[in-house]
Amino acid sequence: WKDKQHERGLWRRTTLAEYRKAQPQWETVLDLDALNKAEGKNWVWHGADCRKPDYTRCLIALSRGGADADETREFDLTTKTFLKDGFYRPEAKGALGWKDADTVYVFTDFGEGSMTSSGYPRIVKEWKRGTPLSTATVVYEGGAEDMYIAAYHDDTPGFERDFVSRTLAFYNDELYLRDNHKLVKIDAPNSANKGVHREWLTLELRDSWTVGGKAYPAGSLLAAKFDDYLAGKRDFEVLFAPTESTSLSGFAWTRHHLILNVLDDVKNRLSVLTPTEQGWKPSTFVGAPSFGTIGVSAVDADESDAVWLTATDYLTPTTLSLAEVGKRPEQLKAMPAFFDASGKVIEQHFANSKDGTKIPYFLVRSKDLKYDGSTPTLLYGYGGFEISLTPGYSGGVGKGWLEKGGVYAVANIRGGGEYGPRWHQAALKANRHKAYEDFAAVAQDLVARKITSPRHLGIQGGSNGGLLTGNMLVQYPELFGAVVVQVPLLDMKRYSHLLAGASWMAEYGNPDKPEEWAFIQKFSPYHLFDDSKTYPPALF
């Protein structure tokens, strides 16, 4: 919890019965601002891993000033203090994770040569309580060109297992079962997202896959019995198959069910699957909103069928509900409204990109908008790493833009995940230009509809979205009246040598290879800048 008095925040707890009240009584577990004052530091919360089933000990990650690197300390939830002789991981990129009460997996900077070229851990070790970190035993050692090595313990009662994950690049990883200190590789495509829950193995395919005499399209979710799969059987149930308009946004297990979260033309839809002796039985998820971004996660997948349900859109603050599968959700809390949303409306339109692909975008406008091309309009985009831009509430956009009469638009361009892996893969590497053509098409559609005109159209994006807006600035300057470029990639000749840049080469390509630089330079804003051209005002 953060507020004016608690800039870095309180970690606090209450009971569910108390939380149902309008003004719950909270117990402070850890006050970060008080900790910072006592230690003379600027710690930022990076999360806690609390050990099941008693939840008395937690591994808390703290970052200095919000950096990627953090340190981990063991915390006692009973005394609400850090243990002086507890597990401690010095500041680095990496983590600690529980194996049992007196053992952790540690992947971190162990000294020279222990990090990958992307700056992440290359080695994972098992560390016993009461022994120096230097004596921890190696579990797995990856290569220098790998991206990230980690290990974790699955403590599901009756299905306790240990796993090692080897990430080679984004959406390229291997998973190993650690069995009596031997590693058994889960023989599945590197591009598939692999999950194990109780007796089930799930594979979310990013590429089409033919196995066991059957072909499964990219974007499918498959399930098989985990032990049978390890024994060599390849009998899958198809839990989800994509269509032209649908993709799998995510899924969540409860004790007896699997809840699918599907995007249908960038709108969330929930459904329920129940494994039975006769196969997987489908049913409807009761009471989910008909529009907006919906998140669903298990309250405790080991013990109950209850889920947390969050919902929001551009005009509706986030709500949190508690739902039992098959019953109507109980709304517990809602964020406050930060702007007047009355008189505003949300629409979805489609623009035709250069190659004919229909590109969806959301539009938030006043109901009495004049279609004369004069309305200041802000267009936002990202288009990378299979990340979907779904409707979300922003007090800043609402108060600073919509309330003042502006129009807000969000483009669901290729490179994102709005239509699954195919949407992402359509704009990788040599096809990156398609993401920029999509964004330009949305801009042109806004003008064609007379919602705005180039001199009144501003754009904004950050990180990969900063690369997007940087390219729009230098490639399509005539389309825009203002360009905001946030924490961008701009010099694509050198990006792979900066910080975590090497881990992004699966997305953009390797500029050190002449055959790949040949296409990368076509979307490197630094190299496309032309001093003889006139550009719109830009804020970096």
What is the phi/psi pair of residue 442, to 5°? -65, -45
- State both tokens at 151: 């290990």
Strand order in the sheet with 103-107: 95-100, 103-107, 123-128, 137-141
pLDDT exceeds 90 at position 58: yes
Q: For 176-235, what is each residue's pLDDT tens digit?
A: 999 988 999 999 999 999 999 999 999 999 999 999 999 999 999 999 999 999 999 999
pLDDT > 90: percent of the chain: 98
Computed over every residue of the chain, the mean pLDDT equals 97
3-state secondary structure of 454: helix
Q: For 339-369, what is each residue's pLDDT tens digit?
A: 999 999 999 999 999 999 999 999 999 999 9
| DSSP letter string, 199-267 | TEEEEE-SS-EEETTEEE-TT-EEEEEHHHHHTT----EEEE---SSEEEEEEEE-SS-EEEEEEESS-
Provide the CB-side half-sphere exposure for 526 (13 A, CA): 9
pLDDT exceeds 90 at position 500: no
For 450-471, give one letter per residue: b (16+ CB within 10 A) or e: ebbebebbbbbbbebbbbbbbb
Average pLDDT in the 93-117 region?
Answer: 97
Element of type H or E holding 433? helix 433-448
Q: CB of 124 within 8 A of CB of 106?
A: yes
Please give the pLDDT value at position 172.
94
Rounded-to-integer distance, Cα 468 and Cα 484, Å: 10
Q: For 374-407, what is each residue's pLDDT tens digit?
A: 999 999 999 999 999 999 999 999 999 999 999 9
Rounded-to-integer distance, Cα 271 and Cα 448, Å: 38
Q: Angle, to 10 degrees, between the axis of helix 433-448 and the axis of helix 464-475?
A: 70
- pLDDT band for 156, please (50, 70, 90 cuts): very high
Please give the pLDDT value at position 499.
79
Please give the pLDDT value at position 104.
98
Rounded-to-integer distance, Cα 267 and Cα 265, Å: 6
Q: For 224-268, what is each residue's pLDDT tens digit?
A: 999 999 999 999 999 999 999 999 999 999 999 999 999 999 999
Please give the pLDDT value at position 254.
97
> Which amino acid type is present at position 364?
V
CB burial class (10 A; 0-12, 13-18, 19+) of residue 206?
Answer: buried
Nearest to 258 by CA among 203, 197, 192: 197
Rounded-to-integer distance, Cα 30 and Cα 290, Å: 38
Q: For 451-475, what is each residue's pLDDT tens digit?
A: 999 999 999 999 999 999 999 999 9
- pLDDT band for 436, please (50, 70, 90 cuts): very high
Please give the pLDDT value at position 181.
84
Nearest to 418 by CA among 382, 380, 381, 390: 390
Please give the pLDDT value at position 39.
97
Q: For 64-74, what is each residue's pLDDT tens digit?
A: 999 999 999 99
- State both tokens at 237: 């149930």
Average pLDDT in the 313-331 region?
Answer: 96
pLDDT exceeds 90 at position 423: yes
